[in-house]
Amino acid sequence: MSAVMKVVESKMAEPDARGELLGDEPFREPRHVVPPVTGKGGQPAFFSCWDLHAYYGESYIVQGVTFDVREGEIVALLGRNGAGKTSTLRALARLDSPAATHGEIWLDHQPLHEMKAYQAARAGIGLVPEDRRIIPGLTVEENLQLAQIAPPHGWTIERLYELFPRLGERRRQEGVTLSGGEQQMLAVARALARDIKLLLLDEPYEGLAPVIVREIEKTLVEIKKHGITTIIVEQNAIAALHLADRAIILDMGQIAFDGTAAEVLDNEDLRHEYLAI
């Protein structure tokens, strides 16, 4: 039995092969049957999150978050430590923690709020968590093959190696022995190996040298050219703002700003108040 199949067998007992647990309960609120009209110009947005509320147990963390993302955009989701960025990404991906209790999430006319995490993943959400979740015991290539164990498939492995030549060179190396930057590339490549519509990146530059950050930025620009829509959460707000078209700032679980990335770069008061930069 190949190493991949052994891992698949052991992982099949878990709800999601990428190591995330499934959302338990879909929202209990009554459902609308048509997408909310939230995009500018009266059209439903490509992605929209409307009045999202989520809790860890009794802790009320995501407190009525509403925003839209246009197809092909890169949106920087920013805010101080503890503002609720990771929690918001997790709620968007329909993970069970934090538990979303109210709100709607639409991706390309699909009601994610009615889905569990594995269904949201199938509908096109690709979450790359902060800890990257490279699977031990598997080579780079096996990590990618595992992502393609079930359809719908995204980019082919050869195409991913064109995007990330370093991964191609290290295809037979065990994934967890890669450098931090290479592991981040593998985590993004693994998301693209599935047919995703929206890439959610949680702190992709964390712990990486500036030269590697620039390499990953270039790749994200390349991915954008191929039509992938991205939400990037980053402590390195300046780098994220230079990459992004738009910026959303979270503060204490609520939206404090929604506008262009250039507006945030130009507005010193806003940066001081919410980003401490």
Ligand X SMILES: Nc1ncnc2c1ncn2[C@@H]1O[C@H](COP(=O)(O)OP(=O)(O)OP(=O)(O)O)[C@@H](O)[C@H]1O
Cβ nearer to ligand X, comparing 198 with 233: 233
Closest distance of CB 22 from Mg ion, Å: 21
Comparison of 10 and 81: residue with beta carbon closer to ligand X:
81
Nearest distance, CB of residue 124 and ligand X, angstroms: 23
According to DSSP, the residues that pair with 242 across neighbouring strands are none
Burial of 176 (0-12, 13-18, 19+ CB in 10 A): middle
Nearest in space to 53 (alpha carbons), one of 101, 111, 120: 101
CB of 244 to ligand X, least distance (A): 17
Rg over CA atoms, the chain:
18
- Find which of Mg ion, ligand X, none residue 59 binds, CB within 5 to 8 Å per kind: ligand X
The binder of ligand X chosen from 86, 101, 119, 254 (CB under 6 A): 86
Site for ligand X in 39-68 (CB under 6 A): 56, 59, 61
Residue 244 binding partner per list ligand X, Mg ion, none, with a CB distance cut-off of 5 to 8 Å that depends on partner kind: none
Indicate which of Mg ion, ligand X, none lies near residue 173 (CB less than 5 to 8 Å, by partner kind): none
Which residue type does 24 have? D
Residues whose CB is less than 8 angstroms from the CB of residue 25 and which lie 6 or more positions away in sequence, other chains included: 96, 99
Only one residue has tokens 């096996």, namely 142
Q: According to the binding rule CB under 6 A, does residue 23 interact with ligand X?
A: no
Residue corresponding to tokens 């190996």:
193
Q: Which of 127, 11, 187, 210 is nearest to 178 (CA)?
A: 187
Stretch that binds ligand X, among 11-19, 82-90, 188-196, 216-224 (CB under 6 A): 82-90
CB 95 within 8 A of CB 23: yes
Q: Which residue has the tokens 């459902």?
A: 31
**Binding residues for ligand X, total number by CB under 6 A:** 13
> Which residue, 96 or 174, is less far from ligand X as judged by CB?
96
Smallest separation, CB 28 to ligand X (Å):
21
**Residues contributing to the site for Mg ion (CB under 5 A):** 85-86
Residue 126's nearest CA partner among 195, 71, 176 is 195
Helix (H, G, I), strand (E, B) or coil at 156: coil
Nearer to Mg ion, 66 or 86 (CB): 86
- Least distance between ligand X and beta carbon 187 (Å): 16
Residues near ligand X (CB under 6 A) = 56, 59, 61, 79, 81-87, 97, 235
